[in-house]
Structure 1
Amino acid sequence: MVSAIQSHGSKNHFIIIDENDAGIDIHDHLRKQWALSLCLKTQTDGILYISDSEKAQAKMRVFNSDGSEASMCGNGLRCAARYIAERDQIQSFKVETMKAVLQVEQVDELYGNIPTYSVEISPILFNLDDLPLSLNEKSKLVLEPVSDWDKDLTFTALAVPNPHIITNATVDQINSDSQEKLASSFNKNNPWFSDGVNVSYVVELSDGEFFVRTYERGVGFTNACGTAMSSSSLVQVIAGKWRAGEPLNIFNDGGRVKCVVHKKNDEFDHIDLIGNATFTHRLTLQLKEDGETLIEESVQTGEDKIYEQMSAAAKDYLNNAAPGLKLR
């Protein structure tokens, strides 16, 4: 039997599994099969595998509901940070991810008594080879139109290190099927993205406040994507709609977070993603060596009640700030 945590960051749902508790040698085929099995049974977006690290307090690996591995997950990192913080009784530390060692820390609550964590999102990469994206021999794509994608929108491509396409849109555009058509085409066989990409549409609400909706590769439309909200915040700073070093309020279908874009020596250095790390259930699992899983026990924590209050307040705000916006 293995104890596990069912959690969410901005209603992006994960199961946290500490590999030290599994009692068997774990390899990537097992991680994939367990992710496929558990995500289907619990309707979660992915599995966060926590293990020892020689570079940091712990290591986090993220496997999506389709069994693919993500290089990073900002919402998941907040949940993992809380688990490690409570396990090891520390508040500020580093976590190793696939491509970077990132700083995390517990911070003041975003709303009520919701456990809130700030996590570093980096590196920030604009070279199209880092996504990868092949586009007419271009090396970068920043606030530019791509006629083959859409005649009315401009796009920015970046990796953090997950690959993202960001575009600012109107309420009518985000309500249409434009995003789904574009994103689904990018995540099938296509001439541009050999490994798929996350696609976010952003609606400006007011000064320093934005709504972000993301179609996430390996998942589809999601309540929120941490690296997408961070990338979208960066694009607003590039576009002159906000300032580096100052927090933005980012609303999403799952609630809201804050982001702070940091510059160092006139270059974008990293982004702070600040939001909830809510534990919804404590689980007892059987993780079998053939890849099958059994949920022996699932006990609600009651933590989600306060988050739902924040989510309801965010929806009320959006109804006034962006009339006609259809939430998922």
Structure 2
Amino acid sequence: MSIEFAKYHGLGNDFILIDNRSSSEPQVTPEQAIKLCDRHFGIGADGVIFALPGQDGTDYTMRIFNSDGSEPEMCGNGIRCLAGFIAQLEGNSGKLGGTVSSPQAFQESNKSFEYRIHTLAGVISPQILADGQVKVDMGEPKLLASEIPTTLGSPDRKVINEPIEVAGKSWLVTCVSMGNPHCITFVEDASAIALESIGPQFEHHKAFPQRTNTEFIQVVSRDRLKMRVWERGAGITLACGTGACAALVAGVLTDKCDRTATVELPGGNLQIEWGLDQKLYMTGPAERVFAGKIS
């Protein structure tokens, strides 16, 4: 059996996208996903994303396997890539009037398209804007320790500037769930952090029963943050959309930034807004790299 795929990336956070509309279960196993994500012996990616039939009135369902075979609740850069992939699929079927190879193709048509996507973190609504950027309503952050989940602090209270011992050092961390767990710490110089050694120690710390994503944030100004990330199940990545949202929330909670800011990532910039409706809005690119078939 052969499976068609498309490779997309959002600021260098890259994914293998598979048209899975014919089945409610992913066409490849977590073990096969590990092989496909291998950058030497496979296609190479941070994860495999499946576009499945919608549930409970949604247009599509998103499932994702990380490069280590684990399944996260959601992925911010991934859902932007999925929106571009869906646009391509629907464009090929004639619904949008022609083949759409990437969100940037919408720029000439001066149209925007929105999808309701069911995820393990709830319903997420990405919108492809007329300028080719993808804006995503990421929903409201969860802030109580029990919601993240973490054993830091009291279960029914927010985790803001709580101390934690990692790698022989005490860190002050703020924890946020964007449907997946995030541990944010503010540092003087994000580039000086030894992610490859410190990241895994945060991810597997006993304070996080479901492991955690970890963001190291350098405040450039109140409307600009510089971020490096260790992603749960994927390791060092060039960008993390849910992490950028969590970082902004942590910055507001600790009075280090405004409710709208640019988040600088190694792969590029994301625009993040924490609206007065308490929802997070993320805007950034999603680009198609190539397509092919796998056996």
C-alpha displacement of 1:243: 3.2
C-alpha displacement of 1:132: 1.8
Is the contact made by 1:12 and 1:225 (CA closer than 8 Å) also made in structure 2? yes
2: CA distance, partners of 1:135 / 1:10? 32
Is the contact made by 1:10 and 1:255 (CA closer than 8 Å) also made in structure 2? yes
2: CA distance, partners of 1:156 / 1:168? 9
Partner of 2:145: 128
Is the contact made by 2:173 and 2:185 (CA closer than 8 Å) also made in structure 1? yes
TM-score (norm 2): 0.83
2: CA distance, partners of 1:119 / 1:64? 21
Partner of 1:250: 263
Q: How has the CA–CA distance of structure 1 residues 56 and 168 changed in structure 2, closer, same or farther, with 3 Å as cutoff?
A: same
Query: 1:263 aligned to 2:287?
Result: no
Q: How has the CA–CA distance of structure 1 residues 224 and 209 changed in structure 2, closer, same or farther, with 3 Å as cutoff?
A: same
C-alpha displacement of 1:56: 1.1
Partner of 1:47: 48
Deviations 1:219-272 (A, max 9, x none): 11111111001111122222333333xx411111111111111133xxxx2211
Partner of 2:199: 183
Match among 114, 138, 158 for residue 176 of structure 2: 158
1: CA distance, partners of 2:266 / 2:293? 30
Q: How has the CA–CA distance of structure 1 residues 108 and 30 changed in structure 2, closer, same or farther, with 3 Å as cutoff?
A: closer
Query: 1:278 aligned to 2:291?
Result: no
SS of corresponding position for 2:211? coil
Query: 1:6 aligned to 2:7?
Result: yes
2: CA distance, partners of 1:4 / 1:38? 11
Q: How has the CA–CA distance of structure 1 residues 108 and 58 changed in structure 2, closer, same or farther, with 3 Å as cutoff?
A: same
Match among 27, 32, 35 for residue 34 of structure 1: 32
C-alpha displacement of 1:141: 4.4
Structure 2: gaps spanning 5 or more residues: 91-95, 97-111
Structure 1: gaps spanning 5 or more residues: 110-114, 287-328
Query: 1:18 aligned to 2:19?
Result: yes
TM-score (norm 1): 0.75
Partner of 1:169: 187
Letter in 2 for 1:216: E
2: CA distance, partners of 1:180 / 1:131? 23
Partner of 1:148: 165
Counting only pairs closer than 5 Å after superposition, residues 188-207 of structure 1 correspond to structure 2 as 188=204, 190-207=205-222
Q: How has the CA–CA distance of structure 1 residues 46 and 85 changed in structure 2, closer, same or farther, with 3 Å as cutoff?
A: same
Is the contact made by 2:73 and 2:179 (CA closer than 8 Å) also made in structure 1? yes
Is the contact made by 1:119 and 1:272 (CA closer than 8 Å) also made in structure 2? yes
SS of corresponding position for 1:125? coil
C-alpha displacement of 1:183: 2.9
Counting only pairs closer than 5 Å after superposition, residues 224-235 of structure 1 correspond to structure 2 as 224-235=239-250
Letter in 2 for 1:12: N
Letter in 2 for 1:58: Y
Is the contact made by 1:145 and 1:151 (CA closer than 8 Å) also made in structure 2? no
Quote the sequence identity (%): 24
The answer to which of 249-258 and 122-131 deviates more is 122-131
Is the contact made by 2:144 and 2:155 (CA closer than 8 Å) also made in structure 1? no
SS of corresponding position for 1:218? coil
Query: Cα RMSD (Å) of the superposition?
Result: 2.3
The answer to which of 276-285 and 151-160 deviates more is 151-160
